[in-house]
Chain A
Amino acid sequence: AQTVTQSQPEMSVQEAETVTLSCTYDTSESDYYLFWYKQPPSRQMILVIRQEAYKQQNATENRFSVNFQKAAKSFSLKISDSQLGDAAMYFCAYRSPAGGTASKLTFGTGTRLQVTL
C-alpha cells in the first residue's frame, strides 16, 4: 500500500518570501499521480497543482511549483511571493494510475502554513 508523509506539521513564511513544503511517498508503482491540495480555514479542499510521474518536467501553476524527484520519491511544493491568502493547511496526495476502484487518493497528514507580515 502507498503511504504519504509530510514531516512538517507547521511552517511559517513572511509575506513576499518563498517557502517549500516537503512530501515523500512510498510506492512500488512506476506510474502514478501526485497532487497538492490547499485547505483554508473555510475547510474547502482546493487543488493547487498536480504532477504525472511519467513527466520529468516539474509542474508549475503561477506562484506554485513542485520539485518532483522520482528516484527519491519526493514531491515538494514551493510557494513564491507568499501572500496572506496562502495561509492554509496543505495536503500532499498520491493516486494510483489504475482507474475504477484503484483511483483513490492517499493523503499525507498535512502542513499548516502561516503567513506573517
Chain B
Amino acid sequence: SQTIHQWPATLVQPVGSPLSLECTVEGTSNPNLYWYRQAAGRGLQLLFYSVGIGQISSEVPQNLSASRPQDRQFILSSKKLLLSDSGFYLCAWSPDYSNQPQHFGDGTRLSIL
C-alpha cells in the first residue's frame, strides 16, 4: 500500500532563517505531488505541484520554492522566512489518473518568531 511521510511535524524558526520541509511517498511511482498551506481557521491554498522529477508548477507568487529531486520526494524551501510564512503545511500525492483522490501527509506546523 502507498504511504506518505512528511517531516518535521512542528518547526519554530526565526524570521530570516532558511526552511526545508520534506515529503516522501512510498509504494507508488510517478505520483503527482502537491504542497498546500493552511492558515489558521482557513481552507487549503495550493502552493506548488509536480507531475514529474524536476517539474514544478507554482500557483501563487511567494517567498517559497519547491523541488523534486527524486520521483517520490518533494521538498518545500525558503532562503529567508517571513512572519507571513507561518501556517500549517500539507503535502499530498495522487496517481496521475484523475478519478483518484489526493492523499495527505500529517502536516507540518510552522511558527515564525
Within 8 A of B (CB), among A21-58: 33, 35, 37, 42-47, 50, 52
A101 and B49 in contact (CB under 8 A), knowing A43-B107, A43-B109? yes
B7 within 8 A of A: no
Q: What residues of chain A lie closer than 8 Å to B74, measured between beta carbons?
A: none
Q: How many residues of B contact A (CB 8 A)?
A: 25
- Residue in B42, B51, B94, B106 whose CB lies within 8 Å of A44: B106
Tally of A-B Cβ pairs under 8 angstroms: 61
- Residue in B34, B99, B103, B107 whose CB lies within 8 Å of A47: B103
Most buried by A among B44, B57, B88, B103: B44
Interface residues of A (CB under 8 A from B): 33, 35, 37, 42-47, 50, 52, 91, 95-105, 107-110
